[in-house]
Structure 1
Amino acid sequence: MKADGPELRDIHLPADPSWWPPAPGWWVLLGIVLVLVAVALILRRKWQRRRRWRVRVMSELDSIAAHQQRETDPVRVVAEVSQLLRRASRLLDTAAPSLHGEAWLRFLDGPLEGTDFSDGIGRVLLEGPYRRDLEMDTDALLALARRWLQRVVAERSEHV
Structure 2
Amino acid sequence: MMPAAQLPTPADGPVLRDIHLPPDPSWWPLAPGWWAIAVLIVLVLCVVAWMSWRRRRWRRRIDTVMADIDALEQRHARQPEALAAALHQWLRRAARTYDTQAIHHRGDSWRDCLARVPVDASTLDRLMALETAMYRPAADAEMDGVADAVRRWLSLALKPRGVRAHA
TM-score range, shorter chain: 0.7 to 0.9
Q: Which runs of 5+ in 1 are unaligned?
A: none
* Contact 2:88/2:131, CA 8 A, preserved across alignment: no
Q: Does residue 124 of structure 2 align to residue 135 of structure 1?
A: no
Query: What TM-score does the superposition give when structure 1 sets the normalisation length?
Result: 0.72
More helix as a share of residues: 1
* Contact 2:102/2:113, CA 8 A, preserved across alignment: no
- Partners of 2:15 and 2:112 lie apart in 1 by 101
1:21/1:145 CA distance change after superposition, 3 Å: same
Picking from 67, 71, 90, the partner of 1:59 is: 67
Picking from 71, 83, 89, the partner of 2:89 is: 83
Q: Does residue 51 of structure 2 align to residue 48 of structure 1?
A: no
- Residue 19 of structure 2 aligns with an amino acid whose one-letter code is I
Residues paired across the two proteins, number: 151
SS of 1:116's equivalent in the other structure is helix
Question: If you compute each CA radius of gyration, which structure gives the higher value, 1 or 2?
Answer: 2
- Residue 141 of structure 1 aligns with an amino acid whose one-letter code is V
Query: What TM-score does the superposition give when structure 2 sets the normalisation length?
Result: 0.70
1:110/1:38 CA distance change after superposition, 3 Å: closer
Picking from 87, 104, 107, the partner of 1:99 is: 104
Which residue of the partner structure matches residue 25 of structure 1? 33
- Partners of 1:36 and 1:107 lie apart in 2 by 37
Deviations 1:86-109 (A, max 9, x none): 222134x14144323223244235
- Residue 105 of structure 2 aligns with an amino acid whose one-letter code is H
- Partners of 1:15 and 1:155 lie apart in 2 by 57
- Partners of 1:39 and 1:79 lie apart in 2 by 41
Which residue of the partner structure matches residue 152 of structure 1? 157
